[in-house]
Amino acid sequence: MSLAVACRPLSAPRSLGWPSHGRIVCAWIEAHCVYGEGDFFGQPVRLLRYQKQFIYWLYEYNPDTGNRRFRRALLEISKGNGKTPLSGWLMLFELLGPPIFGPKGSPVIAVAAASFEQADLLFGDMKHACRESPSLKLHTDAYDTEILVRNGPGRAFRVAAVAGTNDGGRPDKVAADEIHEWLGGKARVHLVLTGGLSKRANSLVLNTTTPGSDLDSMAGRMHLDGYRVNAGEIDDPEYLFVHYGAPDVYDLDDPEQLLAAVLQANPAAGAFLRTHDVMARFRSIPRFEFERYHLGRWTRADESWLPPGAWESCAGEVEIRPDRPCVVTVDMALKHDSVAVVVAQQQDDGRVAVQSRVWDPAGDVIDVAAVENHLRQLHRDLQVTTVAYDPAYFQRSAEVLLDEGLPMAEFSQGAASMVPACQDAYRLICEGLVVHGDDPVLTDHVLSAAVRETDTGWRLSKGRSKRKIDACISMVMALFLSQVPAEVAAPPNLW
């Protein structure tokens, strides 16, 4: 297969032959904006070809009225192609650039993302440009969460949807980044921020995102509508939708076809995006995650979290030895779900051996006493360094066992703990660094687990399956803790 793949969007607007202010906008950005944090910090911006093409589309105008063609836009593209800084530079143009659509009045720009961290990335590109650009720093006062136009009206401010908002400062421009993360109540923040834009002439909502995993979400609906608008199935003349990605026609297990898919999906490949680094991630992260982040594809959130055969290939003889340290984890429930206890121990060959025991509820009742007695027995028979538990359902038992001398330790099953734990478990299993005894119950729980996206990454859940996954969750905790040294050496004295 030829690798000369043209990096064209999978979906783009139909041409009406209308003129564009794109040349003015591109020239202004390259004359006044500089790069933020990264290898090119403080250097003048040089727009990529795809960025210029998007700008030309975004700034098309009606030749009869002079008004914008598009007032709502979604740029959907793989991770690492510079969509976030592009959004920031465009908002700086809206704040400080020439009034190409008539009098600007007092521009108020909301710079928003689902989390504070992502909002800081987008707003940070704007802030650094205002502080480092020889021209912009003369006309702005850039603070941590706000940029003010010096000696004139106009401001841009940061918004994190995770904190909610009641009014958002009545913006006339909104830049919303990574909207696939705007789930649940965060979608309402987007509605609030954009709700009043119809009252302002030539207002603009600029959405940017990598593809997500839930087409029933706000971003998923925008994605589906965008394809229908570009195909002429929906009449929405003010909506600009541009999607870069690789179609599902490549055999990703063939290195040449994988490279071709990466080149087609990533217009920044060969510029600042390191293609070989992207290729290397294909074997180190779940397939669905690679397709979303690097091939620009929407995936299902509840598909299997492990490659076919990865768990089965880890089956082998398991011996938990009493003469070496081990960790124990508990996934507790009150009713309906099962309770799982997993033991994990490092082996001589570098693998981690895991062994589980599961209690199903009798009716709606869990035999908590039986679980406690099992933990006591493990503590007597083995060198247990840690008994980790989620305090949500096991706090009373943990206090009793702690008083008896068991090394109890809290392990919250919130996203902050479980996201890195799940990803660590994925790596260990795929690299063959786990050995299990082919216990059918543990295997059923592991293979029934599915992926759920969060703001900070993916973690495991039941997905659409009604089967239990408690032993899998307990194993994920145990594998994560097995990688933490029992004792961490004190750092050297700086003096």
pLDDT in tens, 65-116: 999 999 999 999 999 999 999 999 999 999 999 999 888 778 899 998 888 8
pLDDT > 60? residue 165: no
pLDDT > 60? residue 486: no
CA distance 164 to 467: 35
pLDDT in tens, 230-245: 989 889 999 999 999 9
Is CATH 3.30.420.240 the classification given to domain 312-482? yes
pLDDT for 490: 46
CA–CA distance from 403 to each of 337, 407, 411 (Å)? 27, 9, 18
pLDDT for 185: 82
Banded pLDDT at 489 (limits 50, 70, 90): very low
Please, which residues bridge with residue 155 across strands?
A: 108, 148
Q: For residues 215-227, give the mean pLDDT.
A: 90
CA distance 55 to 279: 29
Q: For residues 198-221, give the mean pLDDT.
A: 87
**Concatenated DSSP letters for 423-440?**
HHHHHHHHTT-EEE---H
CATH fold of 22-243 reads: Rossmann fold (3.40.50)
Banded pLDDT at 313 (limits 50, 70, 90): very high
Banded pLDDT at 488 (limits 50, 70, 90): very low
The sign one gets for the Cα dihedral 417, 418, 419, 420 is positive
Banded pLDDT at 308 (limits 50, 70, 90): confident
Q: For residues 140-165, give the mean pLDDT.
A: 86
pLDDT for 465: 59
pLDDT > 90? residue 327: yes
Q: For residues 276-301, give the mean pLDDT.
A: 85
Residue type, 267: P
The percentage of the chain sitting over the pLDDT mark of 70, rounded to a whole number, equals 92
pLDDT for 302: 56
pLDDT for 58: 97
Give me the residue spans of the domains in the chain: 22-243, 312-482
CA distance 140 to 149: 5
Q: For residues 439-452, give the mean pLDDT.
A: 87
Look up tokens 């063959």; give the residue.
Answer: 432
What integer best gives the mean pLDDT of the chain? 88
Q: For residues 1-15, give the mean pLDDT.
A: 70
Q: For residues 202-208, give the mean pLDDT.
A: 93
Banded pLDDT at 416 (limits 50, 70, 90): confident
The sign one gets for the Cα dihedral 475, 476, 478, 479 is positive
pLDDT for 5: 43
Banded pLDDT at 274 (limits 50, 70, 90): confident
pLDDT in tens, 25-72: 999 999 999 998 877 888 999 999 999 999 999 999 999 999 999 999
Q: For residues 404-433, give the mean pLDDT.
A: 92
Banded pLDDT at 335 (limits 50, 70, 90): low
Instruction: Give 70's Cβ-side CA count (13 Å radius).
Output: 31
For 121, other C-beta atoms within 10 Å of its C-beta total 18
* Nearest partner of 451 among 411, 415, 410, judged by Cα: 415
CA–CA distance from 194 to each of 1, 57, 68, 171 (Å)? 45, 21, 17, 8
- Cα radius of gyration (the chain): 27
